[in-house]
Amino acid sequence: MKRLFLMLCCMLLLASCTDEKKGEVKIVSPEEMQTLIELEDIQLVDVRTPEEHEEGYIAHSQNIDFNSPTFEEDITKLDKTKPVVLYCKSGGRSAKCAKKLKEAGFVKIYDLDGGISKWKHKGLEIKVKS
């Protein structure tokens, strides 16, 4: 009986230690996001307006304007099985977008804490359209 109880406790402990649950949104720091970009095959999405995107963006990001009338259609073009990393200016729009992606059944969703403003503040690289 003790052995069964011990096994059950171990299984529960391992289950509770999983870092990410399917469909959950994980808030990441700029440093964590940079690591995700370098190590994982992700979809990096800037949810700001095209004008904001042109002023400066994180390399390899695609721009899907959260306020666009075609936003709902645009996010259907993303792969639900691949991790999605979101950012905006300060975190408001990306949090709303993350909620929509979760509702749509996306598996891994990351949201940049503090948006591109915090990314810039940390001195990380920004691209500008020329």
Catalytically active residues, by annotation:
88
Contact between 83 and 33 under an 8 Å Cβ cutoff? The reply is no
Q: Provide the 3-class DSSP secondary structure of residue 25.
A: strand
Angstrom distances, CA of residue 32 to CA of 12, 36, 94, 96, 121? 27, 6, 16, 20, 15
In degrees and rounded to multiples of 5, residue 43 shows phi and psi of -110, 110
Q: Provide the 3-class DSSP secondary structure of residue 7.
A: helix
Angstrom distances, CA of residue 61 to CA of 3, 14, 43, 51, 80? 51, 35, 8, 14, 17
